[in-house]
Every structure is written in C-alpha cells, then in structure tokens.
C-alpha cells in the first residue's frame, strides 16, 4: 500500500516456478494469498498479469493502487474453466460452444456481466471482459484460489507490458505481495479482445495473438473497426502528443512504415541522421542494409515469423529504453499477429514516418 507519500513499502515475496514442472506447494501458497485479498503477479501466455480476488472489491482496489491505473479503466476477469463463463456472464449455450473452441487461449470476451462481479472490476460498466488463459501456472493459481482473478498487465500504467521476469521485478517489487516468476511468455502481446454484446457479429476491440482469420472461421463474420489498427488520425501526426502514447518507453519510438522494403530502409537511413545515438530495430532480412553504415542496430524478428516479432517487441522497447536517444523501428504488414504488433507500435510511437 502507498505510505501516503505515494511510495510503496510492501514486502514482496518472489516465488520461482518452472512451468514445465510446477511445484504445487508454491502455487498453493500464492493461491492462499489471493484468498486473503493479497496481490499476486503471475505469468500468462501473453504477458504477466497483476492479480487479486476478482470477487473482492477490497482486493481489486489494491491492483489499481499498485499500477497507478485510473479507476475508469476496467479489468479482465481470469477464470480456469468454461463453467465460469456461465457463472459471471450472461451467455447462450450456442455462443459458449463457439468460444469453447478458443479456450483456454490468448483471447478475452466482452459479455453482459452478472451481479456477482463487483463494479470496481468493470469500472461500473454492465459488461465484463473475461478470459481463460492457457498458461499452466495461471490456470493452477486460479483453480487453487477458488475465485476468479481480476488482472491487468503487470506494468506501471502506460509502460510496455512485462514479458520477462526482469520486467515484473523492475515494475512491481515493493508494490505487490507476491511475484510468481515463470520464465518468458509465449506470445508477448496482450490477448485479442472481442465484444460479443453488440448484435450478432463480434467486434474486435484489441488485436492480439488470435488473428481475425481464426475468428472468422468460428463466428462466420467479424467486425474490425479502424481503431484496431492503432492508426493516428492525420491531424495528430502533425502534433504527436503524449496523449496518444501508450505502451511507451521514455526514449522516443519512431515507427517507419512502407510496403516496399527499399523505400522503408531509405527512410530509416535518413531518419538516423537526426539523432546522436539512435538505435535501429530491424527485420533479420534487412541486417545487410545497416551493417555497413556504422549504425547501431538490433533485430526484432523476421519477415517469415511475425510471432517472433511480437514476443520480442516489449522486450526490445524496455531493453533499449534510456540507453539510446531514439528507437527507429521497421514496421511490418497488418496481417495475422502483425496487426497486434502494429497496433502496439503505432500507439507507442512518438512519430510515424
Ligand atoms: O493478455 C491480456 O489480456 C493480459 C493478461 C494479463 O491477461 N491482460 C491485459 O489487461 O492486457 P489490461 O488491463 O492491460 O488490458 C485490458 C483491456 C483494457 O484496455 C480495458 O480497457 C479493456 O481490456 N476492457 C476491460 N473490460 C472491458 C469491458 N467491459 N469492455 C471493453 N473493454 C474492456
Ligand atoms: Mg495493459
């Protein structure tokens, strides 16, 4: 809890688990903490989450305090079985059958909420974001806690989501009761969120690891609003303001977008000249363009594997933060998990070229 001066003075217990060989006793200890309205950081397959008993207003308030998260931003309720969807939301069996095909997995569903879920979780809305994660540690923690776990990503509000143990230790040590370290995450971007409350066709609210094609297979049709691509309105490009930056490191991110690789590289090489100590984050296939130019660069995935780009994205943003004076990043195509990557990058960007 904050000590009144906005500082945190909590003692955090760090538990290390091997997701492939989980020691049950360790998870049980953390689950007991959840039962006692304490806060527990835990790994999921997308990013690390900062959890507490989702049925306790007192516990959920601690999440908002630890993150510095505004109370009008609702949380995702994490559950460990399909039955819980019936317990916490109003959902037809026909719809449940469809979403079951995606469970457990990196996707969150917005549904009409039942009374039992406290208003603090949903920020007073009558809808609930609910997700059954695929990570064995997350599932066991929820199961042993015997309550659903409300959890946002375990970063300080506005910063890149944590994908590695170092990240959660840096952001959350001293602010939560427990941190479960379970290695690196599988996807590296937050879950896909779809809204199932607006008519018959699901609407994507946040792109993530489950791509639109997969959703079309299951739901037949899917609405992808423009904001899903994270594109800034033309006017805002002229005056990039803090207001539109999310997931943002302190070092400015310059995103370079172009369908044609040669043109994109040219723009990157031009932009590099504007800084004293820039870093270029590029696709593996483009290393040849930069290595002879005496340019500081690192690779962030390859053209043939956007999943690799996704899993390295927040790691790179954190690794080079405050080590360089600009991160100039090559964009990728808006397809598959690339949509999620570009959504996060466009939001993190100080400037888009
Ligand atoms: O992968 C994930 O989803 C991770 C892991 C920890 O599960 N969690 C995560 O939570 O990304 P968070 O709080 O960082 O992002 C949740 C997003 C927020 O943008 C929030 O506004 C939105 O979900 N959200 C929550 N409840 C909602 C609701 N009822 N309607 C619409 N959006 C909602
Ligand atoms: Mg977040």
Q: What is the pLDDT of residues 44-58, one digit of tens each?
A: 999 999 999 999 999
Mean pLDDT of 147-172: 94
pLDDT-wise least confident of 151-155, 186-190, 300-304: 300-304
Torsion over CA: 62, 66, 71, 75 (sign): negative
Q: Which of 15, 48, 64 shows the shortest CA–CA distance to 138?
A: 48
Ligand 1: nearest atom to the Cα of 129: 26
Residue 196 CB–ligand 1 contact under 6 Å:
no
- Predicted confidence at residue 27, as pLDDT, reads 97
- Of the candidates 225, 230, 234, the residue with the CA atom closest to the CA atom of residue 246: 230
- How far is CA 222 from its chain centroid? 22
Looking at per-residue pLDDT, the higher value among 222 and 4 belongs to 222
* CB distance 330 to ligand 1 below 6 Å: no
Across the range 109-137, mean pLDDT stands at: 97
Decide: 54 in ligand 1 pocket, CB within 6 A. Answer: no
- pLDDT band (50, 70, 90) for residue 6: low
Residues 6+ apart with CB under 8 A from 351: 237, 240, 252, 253, 254, 255
pLDDT at 4: 53
The atom number, within ligand 1, closest to the CA of 125 reads: 29
What is the band of 1 on the pLDDT scale with cuts at 50, 70, 90?
low
pLDDT in tens, 330-352: 999 999 999 999 999 998 899 99
Q: Which pLDDT does position 7 carry in this prediction?
A: 61
- For residues 319 and 187, the answer to whether their CB atoms sit within 8 Å is no
Provide the pLDDT for residue 159: 86
pLDDT tens, residue by residue, 69-106 = 889 899 999 999 999 999 999 999 999 999 999 999 99
- For position 5, what pLDDT does the model report? 54
Q: Which two tokens mark 36?
A: 């006692």
Q: What is the spatial distance between Cα 345 and Cα 229, in angstroms, rounded to a whole number? A: 10
What ligand is nearest to the CA atom of residue 161?
Answer: 2
Strands across the sheet with 297-299, in order? 297-299, 278-282, 326-330, 253-256, 351-352
CB distance 47 to ligand 1 below 6 Å: yes
Say if ligand 1 is within 6 A of residue 336 CB. no
- Tokens for 27, please give them: 């998870």
Q: Which residues, listed in sequence order, are joined to residue 298 by a DSSP beta bridge?
A: 281
Ligand nearest to the CA of 77: 1
Q: Report the pLDDT value the prediction gives residue 283, as an integer from 0 to 100.
A: 95
Note the pTM of the prediction, 2 decimals. Answer: 0.93
Confidence of residue 2 (pLDDT cuts 50, 70, 90): low
Ligand 1 center to 48 CA (angstroms): 13
Vertex 215: Cα angle to 229 and 77 (nearest 5): 80
Measured distance CA(88)–CA(65) in Å, rounded: 24
């Amino acid at each position: 809890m904050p000590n009144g001066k906005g500082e945190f003075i909590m003692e955090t217990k760090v538990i290390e688990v091997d997701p492939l060989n989980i020691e049950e006793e360790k998870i049980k200890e953390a689950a007991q903490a959840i039962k006692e309205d304490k806060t527990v950081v835990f790994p999921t397959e997308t990013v690390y989450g900062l959890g507490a008993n989702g049925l306790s207003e007192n516990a959920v308030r601690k999440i908002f305090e630890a993150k510095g998260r505004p109370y009008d931003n609702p949380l995702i309720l994490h559950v460990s079985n399909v039955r819980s969807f019936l317990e916490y939301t109003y959902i037809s069996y026909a719809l449940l059958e469809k979403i079951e095909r995606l469970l457990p997995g990196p996707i969150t569903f917005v549904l009409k909420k039942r009374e039992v879920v406290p208003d603090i979780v949903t920020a007073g809305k009558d809808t609930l974001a609910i997700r059954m994660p695929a990570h064995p540690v997350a599932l066991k923690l929820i199961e042993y806690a015997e309550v659903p776990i409300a959890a946002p990503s375990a970063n300080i509000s506005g910063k890149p989501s944590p994908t590695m143990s170092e990240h959660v230790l840096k952001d959350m040590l001293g602010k939560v009761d427990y941190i479960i370290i379970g290695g690196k995450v599988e996807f590296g971007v937050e879950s896909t969120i779809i809204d199932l409350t607006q008519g018959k066709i699901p609407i994507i609210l946040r792109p993530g690891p489950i791509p639109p094609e997969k959703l079309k297979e299951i739901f037949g049709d899917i609405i992808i609003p423009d904001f899903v691509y994270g594109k800034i309105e033309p006017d805002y490009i002229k005056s990039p303001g803090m207001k539109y930056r999310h997931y943002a490191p302190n070092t400015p991110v310059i995103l370079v977008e172009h369908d044609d690789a040669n043109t994109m590289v040219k723009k990157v090489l031009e932009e590099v000249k504007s800084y004293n100590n820039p870093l270029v984050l590029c696709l593996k296939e483009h290393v040849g363009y930069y290595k002879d130019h005496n340019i500081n660069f690192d690779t962030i995935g390859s053209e043939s594997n956007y999943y690799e780009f996704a899993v390295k994205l927040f790691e790179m943003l954190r690794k080079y933060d405050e080590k360089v004076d600009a991160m100039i990043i090559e964009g990728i195509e808006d397809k598959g998990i690339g949509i999620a990557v570009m959504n996060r990058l466009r939001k993190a960007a100080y400037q888009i070229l």
